[in-house]
Amino acid sequence: MTVDDGAADRPTACPRCRSTTVGVQATSPVPGVWTLFSCSTCLYTWRSTEPAENTDPDHYPEAFRLTPDQLATLPVAPTIPPLRAGDAPGGS
Amino acid sequence: MGPYADLRAFLDALDKHKQLLHITDRVALEPDVAAAACALTKLGESSPAIEFTDIGGYANARLVMNVHGSWPNHALALGLEPDASPREQFERFVEGYQRYPGELERVSDAPWQENVVDHDINLYELMPLFRLNRGDGAMFIDKPCVVSRDPDDPDNDDVENVGVYRLQVKGRNRLGIQTVPQHDIAIHLAHAEERGEDLPVAIALGNDPLITLMAATPMLYDQLEYRMAAAVQGHPYQVVRTSTGLDVPRGSEFVLEGRILARHREMEGPFGEFPGYYSGCHEYPVIEIDRVFHRTDPIFDAVYVGRPWTEIDYLQAMTTSAPIFVQLHEAFPEVTAVNALYTHGLVVIVSTGTRYGGFAKAIGMRLLTTSHGLGYATMVIVVDEDVDPFNLAQVMWAMSVKVNPASDVMILPNLSTNLLNPAGQPTGVIHKMIIDATTPVAPDVRGDYGEELDTPQTTDAWRARLATMIKELRG
């Protein structure tokens, strides 16, 4: 299996939405085997050792790519109900 | 056989019946794990479960898949012999289901309390999470038992809920959750959100095989899955109460305590889903995990979801058929069996005695108005009681000779269906079809049926004798 050298070669763009908001979520408990990245824009996550179609924007399948326009118009489920009268929001 | 105190006991039973493969060579989480699990589904209806014990990047992780993914494994989970037929498994499930309620037994300690992580939680390090299908938007936890209570009725155990809901791992201690409106947890969440409060949840992973089946069963809102598991296994079901008042199986490998954040939605998906298509992306609720408990050297259990049939179709097989049968049988005692194995019951076959002409069509219409029928059943095939609905050769014979399309096919326009049904037009609405494949009886005197063939005398005795001989022959 492929071994990478951790966060040193952090990708510059998200494979799915091509945003540059890429961070490291985890490295393998056995050091040096893989790094797990995530995109804070579309919440895509990927492991450095995955096939290129999951790690490389140019190889990411067309059908699964996302644009900022699509992210802004996603259906909400379930809908958020109205607050009951007298209840103050207490959640996060 | 059974009941199994935990996943480990069930894996031992699978081992004993040669229904567990051990992969001791090193594997990569992607694509090896999903590829192996997918390959198992292409090797027939007796595929074993599979355990990986050398996973790249982890010192001692253990990962199992396909635990429920064959008729022998499913039979063993129900406490039957591994060669039990699907019809026998259906009858065992229904028999246990109708014994509801069994006994819930609260105990104070559990093996999962051995290790606790309550700061710097990183799920990616704690468990071998992996991508299942290439278009999935992340790693998912797809075989959890998610436990919640109704914040408007918090002390009522009957409305506590245990359900299987897909969880997208979005960060070190952050999950997305799919709560379809038909699911019980959606009621709990709505009540919490009306109050402006987070909804406490406990997520149990790596569970005994029966509670996973119960959690996947669409039972009534005031039926508790633990009491149903106890009824089916004929033995009290043991749970441990968490600090947030939620009951969790004593035998779980991992327990995650957290909260669904009130009035918050966030991008989720896609995920390859049970109809054999990706789900698309939505704004779904979010869970923050506050504490993780786990057994020492915990076992992570996941289900492969692909184009049917895969393991998820076994998880949704009898768990779908039995509740539909029980509801139908209450209305019409002539109903003898329900086969809702196909894509979570989008196609359903029901066998019934016929009271009078036109009766079978009424059975089909009643099926469409059962709670599961409302959201799923799209095509209903009704066959006579002497046709085994789990035997497709018999069903196709009935379709071949007992259906006159001129009057035995009913199309009912614009009924409700599941949002995940890709044939809906618009999404969530679909025409439905009832095919009456029963023999017409008076006053419905269509066709020219005459006498039906039966079997020679003493065939049943010969069948028993020869079955024994064949078993001995094959050792």
- Looking at the 3D structure of chain A, how many domains does it have? 1
Residue type, B196: G
Residues B191, B150 contacting (CB under 8 angstroms): yes
Which stretches of chain B score pLDDT less than 50?
none
Residues B313, B343 contacting (CB under 8 angstroms): yes
B197 three-state secondary structure: coil
Is the backbone of residue B428 left (phi > 0), alpha (psi -120 to 50) or beta?
left
User: What is the distance between the alpha carbons of residues B139 and A38, in angstroms, rounded to a whole number?
Assistant: 11
Residue type, B127: M
Which residues make Cβ contacts (< 8 Å) with residue B23, sequence separation at least 6? B36, B50, B51, B52, B53, B54
Residue type, B357: G
Assess if residue A19 is contained within a domain.
yes
User: What is the distance between the alpha carbons of residues B238 and B241, in angstroms, rounded to a whole number?
Assistant: 10
Domain extent, residue A13, equals 6-72
A19 DSSP 8-state letter: -
> How many C-beta atoms lie closer than 10 Å to residue B85's C-beta?
14
Assess if residue A60 is contained within a domain.
yes
Q: Quickly tell me which residue has 């095919």 as its tokens.
A: B435
Query: pLDDT tier at A8 (50, 70, 90 boundaries)?
Result: low
Q: Among partner residues A43, A64, A78, which is closest to B267 by beta-carbon distance?
A: A43
Q: What pLDDT is recorded for position A88? A: 55
CATH architecture, domain B317-437: 3-Layer(aba) Sandwich (3.40)
Residues B163, B134 contacting (CB under 8 angstroms): no
Q: What pLDDT is recorded for position A42? A: 95
Cβ distance of A71 and B267 shorter than 8 Å: yes
Above 50 in pLDDT, residue A3? Answer: no
Q: Which residues of A touch B30 (CB under 8 A)?
A: 47, 49-51, 54
Q: What pLDDT is recorded for position A87? A: 56
Radius of gyration of chain B (CA): 23
Domain B317-437 in the same topology as domain B7-313: no
Residues B90, B321 contacting (CB under 8 angstroms): yes
User: What is the distance between the alpha carbons of residues B416 and B431, in angstroms, rounded to a whole number?
Assistant: 8
Residues B75, B87 contacting (CB under 8 angstroms): no
Q: What pLDDT is recorded for position B360? A: 98
**CATH placement of domain B7-313:** 2.30.110.10
Structure token digits, residue B231: 């009824």
Assess if residue A27 is contained within a domain.
yes
Cβ distance of B137 and A1 shorter than 8 Å: no
Substitution target in A4, A14, A24, A36 with the highest count of B β-carbons within 10 Å is: A36
Distance of CA B55 to the CA centre of its chain: 27
Is the backbone of residue A86 left (phi > 0), alpha (psi -120 to 50) or beta?
left
Q: Return the bridge partners of B383, or none.
A: B351, B437
Structure token digits, residue B140: 């998912």
Distance from CA of A49 to the nearest CA of B (A): 8
Residues B217, B82 contacting (CB under 8 angstroms): no
Structure token digits, residue B97: 């289901």
Assess if residue A50 is contained within a domain.
yes
- The torsion defined by the Cα of B272, B278, B279 and B281, in degrees rounded to 10, comes to 100
Catalytic annotation present for B273: yes
Cβ distance of B138 and A34 shorter than 8 Å: no
Residues B316, B344 contacting (CB under 8 angstroms): yes
Q: What pLDDT is recorded for position A2? A: 43
Q: Which residues of B touch A47 (CB under 8 A)?
A: 29-30, 131
Assess if residue A1 is contained within a domain.
no
- Chain A residues interacting with chain B (CB cutoff of 8 angstroms): 1-2, 16, 25-26, 28-30, 33-34, 36, 38, 42-47, 49-51, 53-54, 61, 63-64, 66, 70-71, 74-78, 80-84, 87-92
Substitution target in B136, B283, B284 with the highest count of A β-carbons within 10 Å is: B283
Q: Which residues of B touch A89 (CB under 8 A)?
A: 196, 262-263
User: What is the distance between the alpha carbons of residues B341 and B175, in angstroms, rounded to a whole number?
Assistant: 30
pLDDT in tens, B124-158: 999 999 999 999 999 999 999 999 999 999 999 99
Q: Quickly tell me which residue has 């109708």 as its tokens.
A: B98
Query: pLDDT tier at A91 (50, 70, 90 boundaries)?
Result: very low
Assess if residue A89 is contained within a domain.
no
ipTM score above 0.95: no
Residue type, A92: S
Assess if residue A57 is contained within a domain.
yes
Cβ distance of B288 and A81 shorter than 8 Å: no
Domain residue extents for chain B: 7-313, 317-437
Query: pLDDT tier at A86 (50, 70, 90 boundaries)?
Result: confident
